[in-house]
A and B are shown apart, each in its own frame.
Chain A
C-alpha cells in the first residue's frame, strides 16, 4: 500500500469515515509499520488538541450592532438571473 493510501486511511479513521474493509487495511498497515503507528498517534493528538479550543461567546453588543447596521428597506424579492449572478460574484461566492 502506498504512503498516500495509508495516510488517507488514518485521516478517514479520524473523521469516522472508514468502512469495514478499510478498517482491516489500516489495522494491517499499523501492525506492519511502526512509523504508520507513530503518524497515526501524532495526527490523533493534533485533532484532540484542536478539539480543546472551545467556542467563544461573541461580544454582547454584536447582535445589536448587526441589527443597527441593516438598511431600513427590505431586500426586494424579484431580481433577474443576471443581476443575481453579478451580485453573487461580488458576494465572493467564487473566491475559494
Chain B
C-alpha cells in the first residue's frame, strides 16, 4: 500500500496566490517567442507593428511586474490531486479561492467577477469565485495550473452540436465561422482550443484544457496534428490579422482535444484565447 502524504491546504493557498500574480505579469516563453517571430513573419505592415507593440508590452509587464492586460481574467484553476495525498487544514475549494483572493489583492490585479449575471451584476470585489476543475490522479503530488481567462476572447467562443453527417467539413466550418464572426473583437492574434466529442459539458472543458498546450507544440497523434494544421490554415485564410487590421496571422495555434461521443452527436466547442495567453503551473 502506498504511503499517504499529508499536505496542508495553506500551501495550496500560497501557491495559488503566487500563480495569479506571475501568470498576469509574465507571458509564457512559448507565446513570447511567437510574438517575436510575428514581428518579421507577418506580411501586413500594421500587423508587424502590432507584434512589436505586444513584445514591448510583455517586456514592460515582466520588468515592472504589472499586468500584461488590464483584464486580469477569470481565474480558472486545474488541480490534479494525487490520490495518495491527504489534504489537511481546511477545505480545498476554500483554500484555492483564498489564494485567488490574496493574489488579486496583493498583485494589484483587476477584480472582474460580477454576481447575479442577469440582474444586479454586483462586483464580488475579490475576483472570486474561481472556476475549479479537480481531477484525482495517481501519485502523491498536487499539480495546480492557473489560467487567467480574459472576458473579451471568452465572449467570442462557441458551442455547436453538429449532426454526425456533417463530418469533418462541418467541424472546419464551425471553427472558421466562430473566428470570422469574432473578427477583431477577441484581440487577435488568437489561439484556439477546440474540443471535439464528449457531451456538452465535457466538450467545452476539452476546449479549455487544449489551451494549456504550448504554442509551437505538435499533437503527439499525427491524425490530430493534421486536423490542427488544417484548421490553422483555414482560419488564417480569413485575412483578419493582428488586431483585425488585416494580415496573415489571425491565429498563432490551434489545439484540438477529442474524446468519443454518443452515436447521435458531434459536439464541437471553440474556446477563443487572446494573444495574452496567461497560465502558470506549479507542483506541490
Q: Do A and B bind each other?
A: no
Where the two chains meet, the residues of B that have a C-beta atom closer than 8 Å to any C-beta of A are none
